[in-house]
Structure 1
């Protein structure tokens, strides 16, 4: 018995020359290959100035919720950790054009906030200012961590958001912060 092996890929015809619909034919006819370059939609391709403006607006709102919500470090100095907001409340801080830009991204505002984990902590639908003193203590006391520590070549390759924007600066000393405290502390990224 001779069987044409390529018959799976050809449309089947009945005796009248009409196409017969089969699952294989329906799948092949409806097949659309992916684009050669897929669009990145995780907020990473958004313009840096747009992202920075959203981050600054959200951070200022969190810090203004409670100017008195300060926590002391072991040295006794107080640092404003701000309040917390539901992501649905954060939406109200943004203008319509910003919201439209974020709607085009997968995960939208929440993804943008999570991508900026240097500044924010997002848990249970709430946004908080990240307190690196607590994060550092928690990481050092845990044997295993979900997030790997940054590679040694990645330390001090970006400016510290808190040093630049927080009213009280960074809660960590320069030598303990993974981010650069000023242009002179900045190192070139190793690639």
Structure 2
């Protein structure tokens, strides 16, 4: 079983309008704290991001926020975090998130959330990391995306084994358990970090 000391959560800096998404964000934050898993996230105190972080803190968990300097005002930084890391740009933020985390969970969000998910799963596909990547399909939010990914396999643009890199669940506890049980696929011998 994989030890998950830190999980990075990608999600929206907006609240959205689905109470189930908010409830799942609250449950995730509490569950991470209860399982003594440190939350790594984008440092905002607003939106779905803020809900996850506040619940983790309220349940005695550790929370590391990572934010680029230019977003500090826009995303309204949470000042009660265990640790706040400031980067110079978005790319450094994502590199730091990947470096500090043992796995990743994506909740509902917008363009930024999808961009983070697809970058981290592309890095896995390229063999740059072998960490579990979870997608919390809260109230069917990602149903259409999952259908699109399956179409990419059908049309020959995505290999089935690469689609399997994404662990999809609609239950927080089941998703975290699947991430702990995750066995990464071997990285092809021709694929080395200095070639990517």
The structure in which a higher percent of residues are helix is 2
Tell me the TM-score normalised to structure 2 length. 0.30
Higher RCO (CA-CA < 8 Å; seq separation 6+): 2
More strand by share: 2
